[in-house]
Structure 1
Amino acid sequence: MTTAPSTSGRLLPAPHSPVVPPQRAAGANAHLNSRFADDVWSLAPLIENPSTGTSSIHWRNCPEPFQAELRLLVWTLINKELRPTFLRERARTLRSRTSVAGTTTTVRVWMHLARWLTGRGLDTLADCDSGVLDAYATHLRERGGSRSSVAQALLALTRLWAFDELTARPVGIGRPPWDEHGVDDYLPAATTRGGENATEAIAETTMGPLLVWAMRMVDDLADDILAAWAEHQQVPVVAKATTPTETGLAALDAYTHRLDATGALVPVIRYRGRIVLARQYIAVLTGASMDQVNLYAKRGLTRAARLRPGPCPLRTPIRGTVHGQPWREAVNLDEAATLMRHLGTACFIVIAYLTGMRPGEVLGLHTGCCPNPPPEPDGNPGRHLIRGREFKTARDEDGNHLSRGTERALPWVAIAPVVNAIRVLERMVPDGHLLFDSRTHHFATVRPATGSLVAGAMVRRIEDFITWANTEAARHGLARETIPPDPHGRVASARFRRTLAWHIARRPGGLVALAIQYGHLRTTISAGYASRSRDGIHVLLDIETVRAVGDTVTGLHQHLEDGGGISGPAARRAIQAAARAPEFAGTVITATTARRYLANDDLLIYDNPHTLLMCVYKRDQALCHRDSAAATPTLDHCVAGCPNIARTDHHADHLRDRARALARKAAHLPVPLAQRLTTTAERLDALADRHHFDRQILQEGP
């Protein structure tokens, strides 16, 4: 590294000094290291997460008078660490070194400060004393940013002061007043929750058919698509290798005469936005050489293609079906790359939704991550486990973020659809590569990319997959399997994790209800996910569980206020819990508040629409947990006579409706089946009668 001494005895970077110190430059991106004098500084050498896109610092965004000062400060930020004594005296969340995302955010704040100072007629950070920083902090608070964004900016300015003291040529920036007197007075009022816990779940009406199409593509159509892609890859190879022969010329001549005589469509492909004659396809189809095809193209085949453009059906046999019917007559040469792209997207949807992994964890998986397990001692098949890396919470011994991530201490449990998706991906990428290797998954073009696809790219691919699936649904007459737009906007990759938590929390027994609904999957939390011990998703589950409880309690409160009634052994406890419904109103459910609510038996009411009852949960009385006192009930194991059962008027009405439906069905069935349905209908009617006999309502008066 070329450096120069300074008056302080510390070394100054020279114009050709690397921006990232060699010992921190990550393997695949180390060659992208910039030089101190460059107009753009690439931070790619610091990135080892395969699903993280590269980022850069553009010095054109920095006012000219401040460039020399900030270049040295940013170089120091990247090359040095905060002193341990500085860290011990401050917030525990402050780290000696920032992550790549933290570095870009910090530099963005520093450049914004420079532009603000320029507007006030200042041209050096030396004029940025405590009073100026106080005024800038007030400006940040009053311009309408969130509390977290302002706090992040003030932390970046604290780093500016700290790293100025570490540079070889300190400017003399003043100490931020919030570092001395506290930050609260400089922050806007707290607002609603943010981050992952604020992510909206994908609507059931959207997630249901989306999952169906994703699993259909993985389970039913993948073999056809992979075979078609293999044939597609061979077309240019075979075409270029074919030598001119009389036999090939005769076949080509006969083929063109047949096209002219019948007026048949001429095979074309789309190339760079234009429709052109599929010359390589015709060469392979007839056995002619490319020179021979080019000769016939000039003799009129190209003109015929413009007049009568047609498909290029591949010879790959179609074995996949949609509702028992072949999903294609043939795969077209021109659509093979698009179908491969959609197949990769379908695999991502299945893995991300049915495991609860974060997007970066899915995109960071390699081939071989889910080996076939040995059989259990009893001879039953073993459980598939996915071994991968976690990135968001990865820290080194000093608490600094590790871009390369760390190996998960506990593997993910993989259910059958997930294993199928991984096996499909392993057929798509070379052995030893990332399952979503960026070079491989750009099928239509060749890109010199490293790492995996990034989460932002998956959002676009999911949108394209939805468009394709809706086109297929219309073509097959499957209006009920059309994927409607989600009311909360784009189906971002991070939303699958939230959606899984939503469905587990709001479906009896934590069943992945959408998959069950379509007959593909039946697995419970305990059997398939072990989710309450899995890297953070238990936090989302707790939050969604408490939100569901809040909705149930609030609904019961309104029902009772409107004169509705409730019955059952837990009716009185349900009324008492409903009286506390206002506690949920306006409360932001965080991980902390969720744990507090779940620890309070007096508030926990779970609606169970499948068995038409409510569970007013008391751990020590629950018959669904005979051997343990679990934090939440197992609603698909409700036991008649449980002391936790309660029913409202709505439940009783639904009992009557179900009884009438069974009675009508029994009238058209043979006697043994009819008797069984009649007995069930009578039992449901008896439960409704019992409700109205035992029904309790709110008493008037104090």
Structure 2
Amino acid sequence: MSIAIFASNPTAVTLEDPYVLHGRPLRPGTRLEDTSRYSHDVWHLTPARLKIHEYALIINFLSLPQRFRPAAKQLFYTLLSLEPPDGEVLPTVATIRGMFTEIRRFVMWLDKRWPPEQNELSLLSSGDLEDYGKHLLARFPNNRSQRESSRGGVRVLWRWRLQMGEHALRFDPLHLDGWRESTHTARGENKTDRLPEEVMGPLLVWALRFIDDFAPDILEADREWRATRDIRVGPNRDRADVGPRLQAILDEHVDAGRPLPGWRGQPSLSQFGRLLGCRQGSIRPHLDALTTAAAVVGVVDSAFLNGTIQGRLDGAPWVDSIATSHETANGLARLGRILQASCYVVIAFLSGMRESEVKHIKRDCIEIKYDEDGRPYRWKLSSLAFKGEDEVEGVPATWTVCATVVRAVEMLEKLQPTTCDYLFAGLLHGNGTKKSSNEVVGNRATNTHLNELVVFVNQLCADRGRSDLILDSAGRPFKLKTSYFRRTLAWFIARHPGGVIAGALQYRHRSIRMFEGYAGTSDSGFRAEVESEQAIARGEVYMEMIEAHQHLDLVGPSAEEATRRLTDFGDRVQFQGQLALDKHRLRRITKRNDPAIYPGEYITCVNDPAKALCEKARRGNSEGLPAHGGCLPLACRNVTLTPENVAAWQREIARIDKRLDSRPTLAPRLKQLHQNRRAEVVAFLVANGQEILPT
């Protein structure tokens, strides 16, 4: 039976029981025969979740009223595996799971409203939906976004009506009064928060400290922990030598004055069993020896690994010891997670990769380019890119990174077993009772580990009397999220003086175009984020100029045009008689009405492509790129000067005069070049009504 026939005749499910994910690409290694069928009460969606860090999802029809389950099954089978109607796109699995939440909310409300015998959703009336809209307003009075999501879930019954048969909605809810609260929806603005500088600075320093200084101790403890797990329990005939071998270990503890590993105040039989390769029952006959040794050296709350701490903080070991118990503050499980989180901080912040891209990093993902002397000069990191790509499975992509990111990747390779490909897979430490279905750590778990890093560092600083805690401006611990790092990097590059130039130098690129390759692909959007931050930075400069009336003091060829643009911008930013200080509103205004004025140290560019000399140089370039040094400020008609620009030129003249007066005397050709440059600058300032200050 074809899918089309089944869609028009859902009662035929008794004749054929299709796999609900047959229209979806599945994770590698997953067989369609192992996935959920239409008749199942619970549909498992995880096989169609192609990003390895995404959490498991199910659709549980048992949570719906019995009479609405057939309609719900038909709807979600349609969304999962049938061709979408014209004008619709096939929704993602996560979106479909979100729709189920909204449909469940609706039918639970409807179940209390309709008579028991009524079950066809096609019988929904305008009154039903108007009342549901009122219910949502009362249920979520301060959450417009939730109300819109809930209404959108119900409207799917109309949008996919051709596939829904007898359960299709017979009218478009958008035509109902009050169904749509507003016709205006703000789109395109990235409102993701960034990390404050007072947080990012110490966070990055501590992350690097873990990678460079503390990691060797964690890795040595991990090696010893794995070695104890590899010891196999011997046969019964080997138990006779347990006593002598146990006594040898106890003697070592007594001679070194080292406490015995313990559990709840008593020597840990499980730890000694692992060390000796026997079961706990083989140690019980020797409890007297354990008690005698414990009376001499004592018992600690947890079993500690024997490696000596090498890492130093303020001249002392950064931790006293590393414990095997996953419940202790300095346990290997916790420190391993913190080291992994530290690597995430470094990679995410210094690469600009998205969460999904970081989580798909595999072993041997680094490619290093060497110069003719064997020195590394470029490092490339390979992973998968998803956003903006045509393939839902992701496409291979490459990021140009720095040596610091490479160190973080190498640390992850050492932290994971050699048999593990994905470097952000869950670590093996801990009690082992809870296993994730993901191949790598999910987003929520990573957020937890990042904040565990913050807690550990702040406690360490408090214990050592250090001031470099990870706190916000109010002195409170900052709650980290993975989404902050990419946004913070865009802000950092765009806002800091020389940031774009510094980034270009570090990564061996010449301009802002580096960020397309830097972020993996041209569709990654990172360049747009940087340019957005640059625009908002200019907007703040515009506001400062307007408030200080600097736009009235401009001189130069484009001074009149600059004054006009800034005055118009100021009128748009005015809000109830005051300048708008809200960054989101300023970003929107700047995006729509950018005066295209670019303040610099020596000149302020009032961009007009028709007059721009750099544009003419670009058009003469075979690649269409701005020529190196293509800006000609002394000749370009797009130039205007602020008082700060004039002061910069005056300092330039003073530097030239000092160089001309220096001893020994300059070579004739070099002296002539300096004199020509001075004459050009002086002529430029005089032509723009400026006096030359004596040097």
- Taking structure 2 as the reference length, the TM-score comes to 0.72
- CA distance in 2: counterparts of 1:210 and 1:480, whole angstroms: 9
Render the CA deviation track for 1:658-681: whole Å, top value 9, x for unaligned.
Answer: xxxxxxxxxxxxxxxxxxxxxxxx
SS of residue matched to 1:385: strand
Is 1:316–2:307 an aligned residue pair? Answer: yes
Taking the TM superposition and a 5 Å limit, the aligned residue runs for 1:515-594 are 526=510, 530-532=514-516, 533=522, 535-560=524-549, 578-579=566-567, 580-584=569-573, 585=580, 588=584
* Equivalent residue number for residue 51 of structure 1: 53
**Which ranges of structure 1 fall in alignment gaps of 5 or more residues?**
397-401, 657-689, 696-702
Counterparts in 2 of 1:182-331, with a 5 A limit? 186-189=179-182, 197-238=190-231, 240=233, 244=241, 247-252=244-249, 254=251, 265-268=259-262, 277-279=267-269, 281=271, 293-297=283-287, 300=291, 308-309=299-300, 312-322=303-313, 326-328=317-319, 330-331=321-322
CA–CA separation in structure 2 for the residues paired with 1:527 and 1:380: 24
Note if 1:385 corresponds to 2:380. yes
In the alignment, which residue of structure 2 is the partner of 1:698? Answer: none
Supply the distance in 1 between the matched residues of 2:224 and 2:143 (Cα, whole angstroms).
54
Aligned-residue offset at 1:248:
2.3
What does 1:40-439 align with in structure 2 at a 5 Å threshold?
40-82=42-84, 86-87=85-86, 90=87, 94-95=88-89, 97-121=90-114, 123-124=118-119, 125-129=121-125, 132-133=128-129, 136=132, 144=141, 153-167=150-164, 170-178=166-174, 186-189=179-182, 197-238=190-231, 240=233, 244=241, 247-252=244-249, 254=251, 265-268=259-262, 277-279=267-269, 281=271, 293-297=283-287, 300=291, 308-309=299-300, 312-322=303-313, 326-328=317-319, 330-334=321-325, 335-373=331-369, 375-376=370-371, 381-395=376-390, 402=392, 405-408=393-396, 410-431=397-418, 433-439=420-426
1:495 aligns with 2:491: no
Taking the TM superposition and a 5 Å limit, the aligned residue runs for 1:640-679 are 646-647=642-643
8 Å CA contact 2:8–2:163 kept in 1: the answer is no
Offset at residue 389 of structure 1 (A): 1.6
1:287/1:148 CA distance change after superposition, 3 Å: closer
Secondary structure, in 3 states, of the residue corresponding to 2:43? Answer: strand
Corresponding position of 2:576: none
Is 1:466 matched up with 2:426? no
Within 2, Cα distance between the matches of 1:614 and 1:444? Answer: 64
Counterpart amino acid of residue 492 in structure 2: H
Counterparts of 1:648 and 1:224, CA distance in 2? 53
Q: Which has the higher contact order (CA 8 A, sep 6+)?
A: 1
Q: Is the 8 A contact 1:557 1:581 kept in 2?
A: yes
**1:170 counterpart SS class:** helix
For 2:66, the aligned partner's letter is: E
CA, structure 1 residues 626+436, in 2 after alignment: closer, same or farther (shift >3 Å)?
Answer: farther
Q: Would you say the 8 A contact 2:553–2:642 is kept in 1?
A: no
Q: Hey, what's the Cα distance between the residues in 2 that align with 1:588 and 1:577?
A: 21
CA gap of 1:32–1:492, structure 2 versus 1, over 3 A, is: farther
CA distance 1:634–1:194, change in 2 (3 Å): farther
SS at match of 1:361: helix
2:78 is paired with a residue of what secondary structure? helix
User: Which one-letter code corresponds to 1:530 in the other structure?
Assistant: M
Distance of 1:572 and 1:52 partners within structure 2: 56
- Contact map agreement 2:18 2:37 (CA 8 A) in 1: yes
Q: Aligned equivalents of 1:303 and 1:158: distance in 2?
A: 71
Distance 1:309 1:376, change over 3 A: closer
Deviation at 1:357, TM superposition (A): 1.3
Aligned equivalents of 1:470 and 1:309: distance in 2? 25
- Name the SS of the counterpart of 1:411 in structure 2: strand
Runs of at least 5 residues in structure 2 that lack an aligned partner in the other structure: 326-330, 517-521, 574-579, 652-684
Residue pair 2:265, 2:301 contacting (<8 A) in 1 also? no
The structural deviation recorded for 1:209 is 0.6
Which residue identity is paired with 1:435?
Y
CA shift in 2, pair 1:286/1:114, >3 Å: closer
- Which piece of structure 1 moves more, 201-210 or 42-51? 42-51
Q: Is the 8 A contact 1:503 1:512 kept in 2?
A: no
Report sequence identity in percent: 23
Alignment of 1:457 onto 2:445: yes
| Displacement of 1:634 | 12
Instruction: Report how many residues are paired.
Output: 615
Contact kept in structure 2, 1:554 and 1:581, CA below 8 Å: yes
Q: Distance in 2 between matches of 1:466 and 1:28?
A: 38
Q: Which residue of 481, 499, 512 maps to 1:510? A: 499
Tell me, what secondary structure is at the counterpart of 1:480?
coil
Give, in whole Å, the separation in 1 of the partners of 2:186 and 2:244. 73
| Corresponding residue SS for 1:57 | strand
CA contact (8 A) 1:508 1:634 kept: no
Letter in 1 for 2:336: M
CA RMSD after TM alignment: 5.1
Offset of residue 155 of structure 1: 4.8
What amino acid does structure 2 have at the position aligned with 1:118? D
Residues 616, 646 of structure 1: 8 Å contact kept:
no
| Mapped contact 1:386–1:413 kept (Cα < 8 A) | yes
Give the aligned partner of residue 660 of structure 1: none
Q: Matched residues in 1 for 2:200 and 2:20: separation?
A: 43
- Match of 2:333, as an amino acid? A
Partner of 1:672: none
Cα distance in 2, alignment partners of residues 379 and 252 from structure 1: 49
Report if the CA contact (8 A) 1:267-1:277 is conserved.
Answer: yes
- Counterpart-to-counterpart distance in 2, 1:115 and 1:476: 56
- Does the CA-based 8 Å contact 2:61-2:69 persist in structure 1? yes
**What SS does structure 2 have at the residue aligned with 1:166?**
helix
SS of equivalent residue, structure 1 residue 101:
helix
**3-state secondary structure, aligned to 1:508:** coil
CA offset digits 1:216-242 (Å, max 9, x no partner)? 212332233212211122134448469
Residues 21, 430 of structure 1: CA spacing in aligned structure 2 closer, same or farther, 3 A cutoff?
Answer: same
Q: What code does the residue aligned with 2:388 have?
A: T
Residue 50 (structure 1) shift? 0.4
Deviation string, structure 1 residues 433-455 (Cα, Å, up to 9, x no partner): 45345443665526263321111
Post-superposition shift, 1:340? 1.1
Q: Is the 8 A contact 2:243 2:286 kept in 1?
A: no
Q: Distance in 2 between matches of 1:305 and 1:35?
A: 65
SS at match of 2:540: helix
- Note if contact 1:161-1:175 (Cα within 8 Å) is conserved in structure 2: yes
Cα 1:254/1:302, change in 2 over 3 Å: closer
Contact 1:510/1:525 (<8 A) preserved: no
Which secondary structure state, in structure 2, belongs to the residue aligned with residue 372 of structure 1? strand
Deviation sequence 1:323-359 (CA, Å, 0-9, x none)? 6665345544442222111111111111111111111
